[in-house]
Amino acid sequence: MIKSLKLVNFRNFSEKNINNFELKNFIVWPNWNWKTNILEALAILSNNSILKLSFDDLVKFWEDYFFIEIEDSEKQKIWFYYSKKDKKKNFLLNNKKITRKKFLEIIPNSVIFSPIVMNMMYLSPSLRRDFFDEALKSCYVDYESLLKEYKKILKSRNSFLKAISEKKASKDDIKFWDDKFINISKKIYDYRFKFINFLAISIENIKSYFSVTISEIRFEYLSKISEKTVWEDIKNYLTKNLDRDIILWKTPIWPHIDDFDIKLDWVSLSKFASRWEIKSVIIYLKLLEWIFIEKKTWRKPILIIDDLLSELDDNHKNILLSKIVYYQSFISNIIEEENSFYIKI
């Protein structure tokens, strides 16, 4: 459990120390940005993010670096340091430098709740893909590196398609990038289907939230590939559509084009359910996310709840707060709650 937090040159804080965190922590301040920045620091140190800003934008104005330090209940001190000047990151454990891999193995994982998450089923598919990727990054140290490598290979294949279109390269040579693309995609899908299968099995328990009788609720992954034939499906698709890819300079089959839906008696959730029911389902999906992380890592993630309780009615607040009692949580809201630690910034 995190017991204290120290910030230097982070966002609007020159220096800030917060001690004696408890299991449930409410962060109170009239200016919302200050509270979100505290939560963002905790998210960054858990290899996550609420704001999705570059590290340069997290450095306080007129400063060259920031660092974040936490101390846990075992008195371990974990540091994350970033230099804006040379774009350098340093990771420390008890004042000794460690590798990024070691850092990712010891940091607390996190699950983030925010208003945009509660609209996940309505907004861009990228939010739903983020839901997958954030969970998998928390569980598997190499998953984030795979995503970065995938983007590089995808960009290179698209550039080669453009070169073929402009008669600067031969169509026969695309096989090199096809093989790289298929192999990296297969590795990503191998991880992704672990989470997909977990959700498909676990989703049935959401039925209790619906006001009408539901005979079937199903998690449906939307993709051009199937789990057992990933390599073959991508290979066949790329070969069949090569001429179109050359015209468009794009690769139209990939992990980051996939999506998912939740079907209620074969009808899409967003078309069938009420806003209340959809919020309940999303809260439950996030619950499944942190259960999946705990199962795979054998560690409880921290829960970061930013600017969300004000968006929920009392029933949904109670659903969420009743589920998090065994997890350390950091909540930016002003709410009367017994046995909670209030942080006045």
pLDDT tens digits, one per residue of 285-336: 999 999 999 999 999 999 999 877 777 778 888 888 888 888 999 998 654 4
pLDDT score of 31 more than 50: yes
Q: What's the mean pLDDT when you consider all of the chain?
A: 89
pLDDT given for residue 314 in this prediction:
81
Q: For the residues 48-57, what does the mean pLDDT come to?
A: 93
pLDDT given for residue 256 in this prediction:
82
Q: What percent of the chain has pLDDT over 90?
A: 68
- The pLDDT tens digits of the residues spanning 205-237 come to 887 777 777 888 899 999 999 999 999 999 999
* pTM, full prediction: 0.89
Residues in the chain: 345
Closest CA to 302 of 40, 5, 77, 42: 42
Q: For the residues 83-100, what does the mean pLDDT come to?
A: 94
- The pLDDT tens digits of the residues spanning 247-260 come to 999 998 788 899 99
Closest CA to 65 of 88, 43, 46, 49: 88
Q: For the residues 57-67, what does the mean pLDDT come to?
A: 95
pLDDT given for residue 228 in this prediction:
93
pLDDT given for residue 30 in this prediction:
62
pLDDT given for residue 18 in this prediction:
92
Query: 181 Cβ partners below 8 Å, 6+ apart?
Result: 153, 154, 157, 234, 238, 251, 254
Q: Report long-range pairs for 204-208 (Cβ below 8 Å, ≥24 apart).
A: 205/284, 206/280, 206/281, 206/284
Q: For the residues 49-72, what does the mean pLDDT come to?
A: 94
Query: 170 Cβ partners below 8 Å, 6+ apart?
Result: 164
H or E stretch at 15: strand 13-18
97 compared with 340, residue with greater pLDDT: 97
- Phi, psi angle pair for 121, to nearest 5°: -80, -10
Mean pLDDT lowest among 31-35, 163-167, 202-206, 252-256: 31-35
pLDDT score of 187 more than 60: yes
CB 52 within 8 A of CB 59: no
pLDDT given for residue 7 in this prediction:
96
pLDDT score of 75 more than 80: yes
> Binning pLDDT at 50, 70 and 90, where does residue 33 land?
low
pLDDT given for residue 319 in this prediction:
80
Q: Which amino acid does the sequence have at 301?
A: P
pLDDT given for residue 35 in this prediction:
86
pLDDT given for residue 318 in this prediction:
82
pLDDT given for residue 32 in this prediction:
56
Query: Interior CA angle at 38 toward 36 and 40, to 5°?
Result: 65
CB 2 within 8 A of CB 31: no
Q: What percent of the chain has pLDDT over 70?
A: 94
Distance from C-alpha of 247 to C-alpha of 261, rounded to nearest angstrom: 31
Per DSSP, 301 falls in state: P
Distance from C-alpha of 169 to C-alpha of 166, rounded to nearest angstrom: 8
C-beta atoms surrounding 248 within 10 Å: 14
32 compared with 100, residue with greater pLDDT: 100
Q: For the residues 273-281, what does the mean pLDDT come to?
A: 84
